[in-house]
Amino acid sequence: MRVRISNDAVAMACGGEAVAAAFAAAGCAVERVSGWGMHWLEPLVEIEGAKGWTGFGPVAPGDVPAILAGTSALGIGAVAEHPFITAQTRLTFMRAGRIRPLSLDDYAGTGGWQGLARARSLAPAEVVAAVIQSGLRGRGGAGFPAGIKWQKVANAFGGSAAGARKFIVCNADEGDSGTFADRMVMEGDPFALIEGMAIAAHAVGAGAGYIYLRSEYPHAIATMRAAIALAAERIAPFSVELRVGAGAYVCGEETALLNSIEGKRGVVRAKPPLPALQGLFGCPTVVNNVLTLAAVSHILREGGAADYAALGVGRSKGTMPVQLGGNIARGGLVEVPFGITLGELIHDFGGGTASGRPVKAAQVGGPLGAYMPPDQFHLPLDYEAFTAADALIGHAGVVVFDDTADMGRLARFAMEFCAVESCGKCTPCRIGSTRGVELIDRIRAGSTVDALASQPQIRNAPKAAPSRAADIALLEDLCDTMRGASLCALGGFTPYPVLSALKHWPEDFGGDFGA
């Protein structure tokens, strides 16, 4: 009997290795495949039968005898036909759950390398034009059009490749809370990322590429190293090298990442010059994240650019892999076209909170994304719509909180996180975040310097102590300074969670400051 069990990090963390061993001990032929992204059912097992594959989950080693005997109540039917999957539009994750990650045969048999073959049959400018036509925007956070970035690198040195050194850099430093889509690509479909990088290299005239991968992803590191070796002949003369970061959150910012690859301290560079003109080792460089590059092979297959552009809304084209986490009943990966509402993601796909309590807030876009209350859940997943609401899509991690969450404490965490992770190069981020923690503590404690002013033993006590309203105004002014004057998005985006929490849940700071 053939059995499929995911070998990604989530399945392993939930006990997948022990379940696989139990099936192997029972005489089954166990295949380790990529994960479907249905994390609440992990370890998820598929059993081959006369009518196809049937899924069971979540499975513990003790459940194996009943599953093999046909008496288990854990069956969910064919996983590919589960409502959670059929309601999605999976393009970037079209192979999720269906292939062995390091099988070149599995990859080629599911459309792999077709995009690269077609790209290499076209002139580089035609490849760039196809990516522009698709409307693909960077999936790492900023949402900048990928094709425009490629075009700028392709046109460097007057468009001549003679004597030019150009690079493709994949930002795989997935450090945002509630995000795991990059990891799922690298652990489950690594050749899709490599193929996307090779297509980008042909388009801009780059000879080498680097994948910058966070050290906290040991399984992804092992899989990508093996995949790079297996794909080397297929992507030649382009070559890819893996570099492992040391865990600094700021190295997710593209210029700090480039410094780290060069062996320097991971601090942010001033821009301009842009990396597209003066990036890695001072050369023109494409910097895209994993999801952006993994989407490219589909776009370059015949008709893919037009098909991709037909999905989504407004200027937000194609699909977005959304990650559902936090206090949510059905956590996992959902790939859908832009335009779906936040409420549909949380309730229809996610099933509401795991605790069963009402949803209080959802943070979208990582630890520096805004906290969004339920009355904003009608917003469509669209870059412009979120920007208009003072929110971020970012890497599309959605972390859900129920009504027991203390939003004042979460706002404080945002400032503390910035203070801890700041590279220290610019004052608004380095000092502003520390002052922000102090201000929030003072506001939440309800204390001002009135108490100090009333103590005659304290010399030089202020004559007029600031009120709580004045402290709130000071915090808002500090956030405005950080947002406008920080060198990168770490300091620039920290105000989003702070101000959104202050606006929508003033009671969690000790009072209604709008009164």
pLDDT, tens only, 93-112: 999 999 999 999 999 999 99
Phi, psi at residue 169, to the nearest 5°?
A: -120, 125
Q: What is the DSSP letter of 506?
A: G
Same domain, 168 and 242: yes
What's the rounded Cα separation, in Å, for the pair 145 and 288?
10
**515 within some domain:** no
Confidence (pLDDT) at 453: 45
Confidence (pLDDT) at 449: 46
Over residues 151-157, the mean pLDDT reads 92
Q: Which of 309, 329, 346 is the last residue of a domain?
A: 309
Confidence (pLDDT) at 28: 97
Same domain, 246 and 121: yes
Confidence (pLDDT) at 452: 45
pLDDT at 512 over 60: no
Confidence (pLDDT) at 445: 86
Cβ count near 342 (within 10 Å): 22
Confidence (pLDDT) at 466: 62
Confidence (pLDDT) at 460: 56
Confidence (pLDDT) at 162: 47
What's the rounded Cα separation, in Å, for the pair 362 and 374?
8
Same domain, 358 and 259: no
Same domain, 191 and 261: yes
Beta strands 359-364; 332-337: pairing state: unpaired
Q: What is the DSSP letter of 243?
A: E
Q: What is the DSSP letter of 246?
A: -
**176 within some domain:** yes
Beta strands 312-313; 2-6: pairing state: unpaired
pLDDT band for position 181 (cuts 50, 70, 90): very high
Confidence (pLDDT) at 469: 87
Q: What is the CATH number of the domain that holds 74?
A: 3.40.30
pLDDT in tens, 285-307: 999 999 999 999 999 988 789 99
pLDDT band for position 468 (cuts 50, 70, 90): confident
**94 within some domain:** no
**132 within some domain:** yes
187 near 168, Cβ under 8 Å? no
User: CA nearest 492: which of 170, 141, 212?
Assistant: 141
408 near 501, Cβ under 8 Å? yes
pLDDT band for position 263 (cuts 50, 70, 90): very high
Domain count, the chain: 4
Beta strands 316-317; 312-313: pairing state: antiparallel
**Non-local CB neighbours of 464 within 8 Å, separated by 6+ positions:** 453
pLDDT at 510 over 60: yes
* Coil vs helix vs strand at 384: helix
Confidence (pLDDT) at 450: 45
What's the rounded Cα separation, in Å, for the pair 421 and 415?
10
**365 within some domain:** yes
**160 within some domain:** yes
147 near 128, Cβ under 8 Å? yes
Beta strands 371-372; 359-364: pairing state: antiparallel
Same domain, 138 and 242: yes
What's the rounded Cα separation, in Å, for the pair 132 and 122?
15
Residue range(s) defining the domain that contains residue 341: 321-402
pLDDT in tens, 313-361: 999 999 999 999 999 999 999 999 999 999 999 999 999 999 999 999 9
Same domain, 389 and 422: no
Same domain, 164 and 30: no
**420 within some domain:** yes
0.95 exceeded by pTM: no
Phi, psi at residue 130, to the nearest 5°?
A: -65, -40
pLDDT at 462 over 70: no
Strand pairing partners for 167? 208, 285
Q: Which of 309, 332, 359 is the last residue of a domain?
A: 309
pLDDT at 141 over 60: yes
Q: What is the CATH number of the domain that holds 346?
A: 3.10.20.600
Same domain, 378 and 435: no
Distances (CA, A) of 493 to 11, 125, 417, 502: 33, 35, 12, 15
Same domain, 289 and 208: yes
Same domain, 330 and 455: no
Cβ count near 51 (within 10 Å): 7
Q: What is the CATH number of the domain that holds 473?
A: 1.20.1440.230
pLDDT band for position 451 (cuts 50, 70, 90): very low
pLDDT at 256 over 70: yes
Place of tokens 């600094």: 248
Same domain, 349 and 300: no
Q: Which of 52, 86, 120 is the last residue of a domain?
A: 86
List the alpha helices (DSSP H) in 16-96.
Answer: 16-25, 64-69, 83-86
**95 within some domain:** no
Same domain, 150 and 204: yes
Q: What is the CATH number of the domain that holds 295?
A: 3.40.50.11540
